Amino acid sequence: MPTTVQTVTGATETMVLNMGPQHPSTHGVLRVVLELDGETVVKARPEIGYLHTGIEKSCEAKTYSQAITLTDRLDYLAPLSNNLCYCLAVEKLLGLQVPKRAQYIRVLLTELTRIGSHLVWLGSHAIDLGAMSMFLYCFREREEIMKIFEMVSGQRMMTSYFRIGGLALEPPAGWLAPVERFLNMFPGRLQEYENLLTKNRIWLGRTVGVGTLRAEDAIALGVTGPTLRASGVAYDVRKFFPYCSYEEFDFDVPTHNDGDCYARYLLRLEEMRQSLSIIRQAMPKILPEGPIRTEAPGIVPPQREKMKTEMEALIYHFKIFTEGFSPPPGEVYQAIESPRGELGFYVSSDGSPKPARVKVRAPSFVNLQALPKLVEGRLIADLVACIGTIDIILGEVDR
């Protein structure tokens, strides 16, 4: 990097510092090459790829159903969002309709995922800025969500619960009781977080006016999700391009105009409240009984009982798990609103049982590009706050 930049203090000599890839506040293995004038960041250049696992390439060697397990590992704080987006993309490619009951369960669980993901964000962002106790509180509440996931899917994190055509299995009896308990408990806890942080002078000092992103810049840089909405643009995929019956739910898309770290903090708290409202609306819609998978012989595995009594069901089961199914040639792009922004899956089929191309439009990957815009001209300590508020997951950035 050249060292002849005109710096803030007028000096022409700057220092180059590697922040990461092993640094506690870079949330994974992110390296930021910083050009510093004293403590002021003159230039920041994110370097990524340390967690590149070739998931997109691996998908091309798997059948459509097998690839679901890989999607969990992209954004490991929101595995159900990834499952959902991939399944929706393949269902679109096949032209499958999913039963309403499965759609509502999907909505409920992805909104719980959003709350869980925002809790990890809040906890880790707060600990970056020196508020240790928030981290413990947030993980305490997230644990309740994890227990619900474990109850429903058998897994805490790598759920793979959404499958092409519906859900993997029927949720256990009484699974809505812990959701209800969570709904009753959580608003009070959110208020506690607000009491601790929202008017806290140290918190305000570290976040107000820090890392301001203007709306035009955010759109030009492709930023989506809470980071974009905190800059005043009400773009939410759930409202703009509804999927999974989101058009039946009544919720607001909160926005802020300041575009700084504090606006992004307030916005995510408000989003958690909206998610609670969506979950509350979804609960009465989920009937105690009904299909969780669509009837699509040769694509969706048949019910266990049918396999024991019907020859065709047994044959389809065998064929699905040995060679998979072949969607018609074509390409689709399906986007959803993940906790971090627009998560998109581009799936292209050449008519064979394996996808010709799976591309993940990872919101973290795109949002991270805005980092230099947020931090250049500010202190290193602000960089930590900014990395925190754009909420990146390196598993998704590097794929």
| Interacting residues with another protein (CB under 8 A) | 48-49, 52, 54, 56-58, 60-61, 92-93, 95, 219-224, 233, 235, 240-241, 330-333, 335, 342, 344, 346, 348, 356-357, 359, 361, 365-366, 369, 398-399
Select 268 or 399, whichever has its Cβ closest to another protein.
399
What is the C-alpha separation between 338 and 169, in angstroms, rounded? 23
Nearer to another protein (CB atom), residue 232 or residue 297: 232
Tell me how far, at minimum, the Cβ of 303 lies from another protein, in Å: 28
Do 227 and 391 contact (CB within 8 A), yes or no? yes
- Min separation Cβ 344 and another protein, Å: 6
User: Between the CA of residue 234 and those of 133, 227, 245, what are the distances in Å?
Assistant: 32, 11, 20
CB of 335 to another protein, least distance (A): 7
**By C-beta, is 47 or 310 nearer to another protein?**
47
Tokens 């107000």, residue located: 208
Eight-class DSSP state of 378: S
To another protein, the closest distance from the beta carbon of 48 in angstroms equals 7
Pick between residue 56 and residue 391 the one whose CB is nearest to another protein.
56
Residues in the chain: 399
**Residue 49 C-beta: closest distance to another protein, Å:** 4
Taking the C-alpha atoms of residue 208 and residue 186, their distance in angstroms, rounded to an integer, is: 26
Q: Distance between CA 255 and CA 233 in Å, rounded? A: 7
Residue where the block lists tokens 């509440």: 141
Other CB atoms within a 10 A radius of the CB of residue 3 amount to 12
Q: Which is nearer to another protein, 62 or 306 (CB)?
A: 62
Least distance in Å: CB of 313 to another protein? 28
Of 24 and 95, the one with the shorter C-beta distance to another protein is 95
Q: Which is nearer to another protein, 58 or 245 (CB)?
A: 58
Continuous H helices in 95-236: 100-128, 132-153, 176-197, 201-207, 215-220, 226-229
**Exposure of 12 by Cβ count < 10 A (0-12 exposed, 13-18 middle, 19+ buried)?**
exposed
From CA 364, how far away is CA 396, in angstroms rounded? Answer: 6
Output the smallest distance, CB 277 to another protein, in A: 23
For another protein, the closer CB: 148 or 390: 390
DSSP helix/strand/coil, 67: coil
Cβ nearer to another protein, comparing 123 with 341:
341
Instruction: Count CB atoms within 10 A of the CB of residue 332.
Output: 18
Please state the closest distance from residue 60 (CB atom) to another protein, in A. Answer: 7
Residue 290 backbone zone (phi > 0: left; psi -120 to 50: alpha; other: beta): left
- In angstroms, give the least distance from the CB of 96 to another protein: 11
Using CB atoms within 10 A of its CB, is residue 157 exposed (0-12), middle (13-18) or buried (19+)? middle
Enumerate residues 6+ apart whose C-beta is below 8 A from 356: 60, 348, 349, 350
DSSP-derived letter for residue 367 is: H
